[in-house]
Amino acid sequence: MVTIEEALKGIESAQDTIRNATALSSPTILSEQMMRLSQYTAILDAHLADYERDFELQLSSKILAKMKEGLKVTPAESLAKVELAEIKSQILFLTRISASCWRQVGVAQSRINHLLQESKTNI
């Protein structure tokens, strides 16, 4: 399976290529890079789903443990969230990257459609 690091590098590479001046006017390049970007983002999303699942399981476990130590629900939940803040920040970071990538795929699709329409009117 492709690692998160590999997926992030693939995303960065596809984004760099899309940002190239040549790509902005080439439906072929945009399409290829949009496909790469979507594939790497899907891989990132699969890892993100694992992180989210693990976070929820760990959070529940920590809350329960703290309640068994005598804490009420709200303080137990607060302490558990503090203990898992690093994982939560990684989830938020990856979620933001994923959402941005999917928006870029949508923009690339719109750009391709625009270029294709433009090419039909210039014939």
Each residue of 71-122: pLDDT tens digit?
Answer: 999 999 999 999 999 999 999 999 999 999 999 999 999 999 999 998 888 7
Does the pLDDT of residue 123 top 80, yes or no? no
For residue 89, the Cα-to-chain-centroid distance in whole angstroms is 13
**Domain span including residue 85:** 4-19+27-121
Q: What is the DSSP secondary-structure string of 1-42?
A: ---HHHHHHHHHHHHHHHTSHHHHT-HHHHHHHHHHHHHHHH
* Domains: count for the chain: 1
Model pLDDT, residue 82: 97
Q: Is the whole model's pTM more than 0.85, yes or no?
A: yes
